[in-house]
Amino acid sequence: MSGEPGERGEGPPLEALVSLLRRTHLAPPDVIPDAVDAAIAHLDARGVVFLADYSDTVLVPMVRDRQADAATLAVDATLAGRAYRLLTVQTTLGDGVPTLWVPIIDGVERLGVLQVTVADAGRLDDEGLLNDLWSFAHFLGHLVSVLDAYGDAIDSVRRQTARTLSAELIWQLLPPLTSGTAKVVVSGRLEPSSEVGGDVFDYALSADRAQFAVFDATGHDLHSGLAAATALAAYRNSRRQGHGLFEQTEAVHRAVGDEFAGRMYATGVLGDLDLDTGRLRYIAAGHPSPLLLRRGRVVKTLDSGRRPLLGLDMKAANVAEEWLEPDDVLVLYTDGITEARDTDHQFFGVDRLVDFVEREAADGVPLPEIVRRVGRRILEHQNGVLQDDATILLIQWTSSGQEALEPVREQGPPQGRTG
């Protein structure tokens, strides 16, 4: 798109944003459908919010009764899904109704898409309208994230499958699945999303550091969830007190050991990336070694910094060090990824994971979409039923990768304009 998103910023565009702000001030999340439709009317358009379900397979309309006929849309088989997957604005004249599908994001986290219908098909090519919608959808994404904490209306839309107690616990502890700053992008995923037991991840971003961790508690039930929650709480507590990587690891080790007394253990990788220099420090506790993706190829397995399972006393441990290059991606995963088995009992394995990530990266697929596709591929390999939690976390040291996470208009004619 030409110009900066929302660069006009006056008249109807500003009125739309102000209307959305006022209608959601001191309001529960239930008001979002009506607030959006009323606000976007200032742009001479109609709007319906679609949110991605927690499994990232369908886009679910957040509607009132007057729009009850709005259908759930498949992420992998619709224009709306394409807008969501690739963060591109899609346009169509399906059924003679000029429609734009605009990604809804909070920062760099994908939340869903905004269906915008207009009366005049010529407006599908209006760069000014596209810029205004970018700003509107981005602001809407912030509101969705904030209002989600005030009630269950947003969760009820996104929750298309019942959760186990352990999954409920884990989901309440997770940070946003995707986040970033001007120097780093982080994106993660857990499968099966509605039954995850002992896997969890966390991160903390600042102007010059990215701190992160992945933990995998033994087992796959509520006890596993409690162990994972204990590990995560100990990690956050130590990190937030300003302790270093070694002390953070020891805090998790002591918490798991003291609380479960040998009945439960956890594996984990903890890391600290200097965003000014690319210096990575990490510890791997009984956990699969991270991979280093560089220019679309996995160039190294980070197999230093080893120590035993968290909860088991150690004889020796050290903090490992690696130097990253700009745009490098760290690939962290739990053994549920590589040990997923097909009907012939063949493991998915590290080689398949490497091949899959390399191909997706070579195609320029956005980081959160790579993560989503890895999750779908693992489920397919094990026929939709995982025997263990499968988690992947990608961390990219970059000042340019963020550009792929801003909704843009795809080149070429609007989709659906022919035929």
pLDDT digits (tens, 9 = 90+) for 287-322: 999 999 999 999 999 999 999 999 988 777 789 999
Q: Which CATH superfamily is domain 163-403 in?
A: PPM-type phosphatase domain (3.60.40.10)
Per-residue pLDDT reduced to its tens digit, 246-255: 999 999 999 9
Q: Is residue 272 within 8 Å of residue 245, measured between CB atoms?
A: yes
Mean pLDDT of 215-228: 90
Task: Report the alpha-carbon distance of residue 359 to residue 241 in Å, rounded.
Answer: 40
Residue ranges, comma separated, of all CATH 3.30.450.40 domains in the chain are 12-157
Determine the topology of domain 12-157 in CATH. Beta-Lactamase (3.30.450)
Helix or strand run (H / E) with residue 85: helix 79-86
pLDDT at 358: 96
Q: Read off the pTM.
A: 0.91
Where do the DSSP E strands lie in 157-252? 178-180, 184-191, 199-205, 209-217
More confident residue, 167 or 383: 167
pLDDT at 386: 74
pLDDT at 62 over 90: yes
Bridge partners (DSSP) of residue 60 are 51
Confidence (pLDDT) at 16: 94
| 144: enclosing H helix or E strand | helix 127-147
Q: Stretch 188-206: mean pLDDT, rounded?
A: 93
Is residue 411 scored above 60 in pLDDT? no
Report the pLDDT averaged over residues 104-133.
94
For CATH 3.60.40.10, list the domain ranges present in the chain. 163-403
Q: In whole angstroms, give the CA distance from residue 246 to residue 355.
A: 33
Judged by phi (left if over 0) then psi (alpha if -120 to 50, else beta), residue 346 lies in beta
φ, ψ (nearest 5 deg) of residue 138: -70, -45
Q: Are 51 and 157 in contact (CB under 8 A)?
A: yes
Between 67 and 180, where is the model more confident?
180
- Which phi and psi (to 5°) does residue 362 adopt? -65, -30
The residue among 5 and 145 whose pLDDT is bigger is 145
Average pLDDT over residues 83-106: 93
**Cα separation of 179 and 168, whole Å?**
21
Q: What is the share, in percent, of the chain residues with pLDDT greater than 70?
A: 94
